[in-house]
């Protein structure tokens, strides 16, 4: 590294606390190494006195803000794991961190048993859009929090009496397995497909309350086919895995929305399990409704993934492969067209 281009910042983490300092640094300074690797900086410390240096002044400033933020969490006796460090790094863009905005403008969802802070610009924008619009689309790869945050917003709205009930909907589409071979009636066959929605509800409301609310039909979980013919007023409706709807099903669902209701439609265009030749209702709706007033569309990217860091790399690898395949397809098509044009020219002569 060229010393002439290095920017450094020295600062002291206060109040001094050996336990919080150890939590921040991690075993063998693993947490500091993780931050160094992601932000391309060098971190040195002696006790609570830290020095951050690097070639990019924004990254240096961001690392300083990040270390101070994590240290405050450690002082509050919160567990600091490698996964937590990853989420802190994802939580705000480098620009926001470097300007000290991470704490300011933070969107928070408060439920009975959970205090949820959306991670990163897209997640925060997604929650803000859900709070402002009646119909909202959350589109992007697995692990970006689309469904989890939608359920959190639904629970928050129910507890604040902004809606009278929550409806969680999924299309009953087979993902490599035949529903007919699963045991039980239709409800029991569908239940495993709705498990992520149950898990989010249990985390935010507790097992007993969720079961009571389901018994009272305050929370209803159903396959998409059960929506036909209904009009839902004063409800918070979530359509999950919407890439597996047909165009007709998507239109049917969107026209169920009544007064006082909020709808969130989540999906991943790369995970379509529909029969070959069937167009995805999500892709079609994105095109048709793109500029409709009152409808929001939040697009998530691989950088928004908040699961294991490898998930982000996997998504990026698949996206890169798909882009290469599409480029090769276009190149082959262009070559064939050039050959046809040359043949037509020869025949004309």
Q: Is residue 299 classed as helix, strand or coil in its secondary structure? A: strand
Residue 258's pLDDT is what? Answer: 86
Contact between 143 and 115 under an 8 Å Cβ cutoff? The reply is no
Give the confidence band of 166 by pLDDT, cuts at 50, 70, 90.
very high
pLDDT digits (tens, 9 = 90+) for 79-99: 788 878 877 776 644 544 544
| Gyration radius (Cα) of the chain, Å | 25
Sheet holding 7-12, edge to edge: 7-12, 49-54, 42-46
The C-alpha atoms of residue 125 and residue 123 are separated, in whole angstroms, by 5
Residue 129's pLDDT is what? Answer: 93
pLDDT digits (tens, 9 = 90+) for 97-107: 544 444 445 68
pLDDT digits (tens, 9 = 90+) for 22-41: 999 998 899 999 898 888 89
Domains, the chain, in order of start with CATH, read: 3-98 (3.30.1370.10), 109-304 (3.40.50.300)
Q: Is residue 324 classed as helix, strand or coil in its secondary structure? A: helix
Residue 175's pLDDT is what? Answer: 45
Give the confidence band of 275 by pLDDT, cuts at 50, 70, 90.
confident
Give the confidence band of 46 by pLDDT, cuts at 50, 70, 90.
very high
């Amino acid at each position: 590294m060229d010393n002439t281009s290095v920017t450094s910042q020295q600062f002291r983490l206060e109040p001094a606390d050996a336990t919080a300092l150890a939590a921040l640094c991690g075993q063998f300074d693993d947490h500091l190494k993780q931050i160094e690797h992601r932000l391309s900086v060098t971190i040195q410390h002696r006790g609570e006195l830290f020095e951050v240096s690097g070639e990019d002044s924004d990254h240096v400033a961001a690392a300083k803000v990040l270390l101070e933020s994590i240290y405050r969490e450690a002082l509050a006796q919160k567990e600091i794991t490698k996964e937590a460090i990853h989420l802190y790094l994802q939580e705000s863009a480098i620009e926001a961190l470097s300007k000290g905005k991470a704490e300011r403008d933070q969107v928070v969802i408060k439920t009975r048993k959970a205090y949820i802070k959306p991670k990163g610009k897209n997640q925060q924008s997604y929650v803000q859009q859900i709070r402002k619009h009646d119909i909202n689309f959350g589109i992007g790869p697995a692990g970006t929090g689309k469904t989890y945050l939608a359920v959190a917003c639904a629970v928050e709205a129910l507890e604040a009496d902004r809606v009278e009930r929550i409806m969680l909907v999924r299309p009953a589409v087979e993902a490599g397995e035949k529903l007919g071979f699963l045991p039980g009636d239709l409800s029991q066959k569908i239940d495993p497909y709705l498990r992520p929605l149950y898990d989010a509800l249990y985390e935010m409301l507790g097992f007993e309350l969720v079961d009571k609310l389901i018994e009272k039909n305050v929370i209803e979980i159903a396959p998409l086919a059960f929506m036909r013919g209904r009009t839902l007023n004063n409800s918070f409706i979530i359509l999950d895995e919407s890439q597996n709807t047909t165009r007709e099903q998507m239109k049917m669902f969107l026209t169920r929305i009544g007064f006082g209701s909020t709808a969130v439609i989540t999906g991943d265009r790369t995970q379509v399990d529909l029969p070959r030749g069937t167009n995805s209702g999500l892709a079609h709706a994105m095109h048709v409704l793109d500029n409709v007033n009152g409808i929001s569309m939040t697009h998530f990217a691989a950088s928004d993934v908040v699961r294991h860091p490898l998930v982000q790399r996997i998504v990026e690898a698949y996206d890169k492969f798909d882009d290469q395949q599409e480029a090769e397809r276009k190149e082959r098509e262009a070559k064939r067209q050039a050959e046809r044009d040359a043949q037509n020219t020869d025949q004309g002569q």
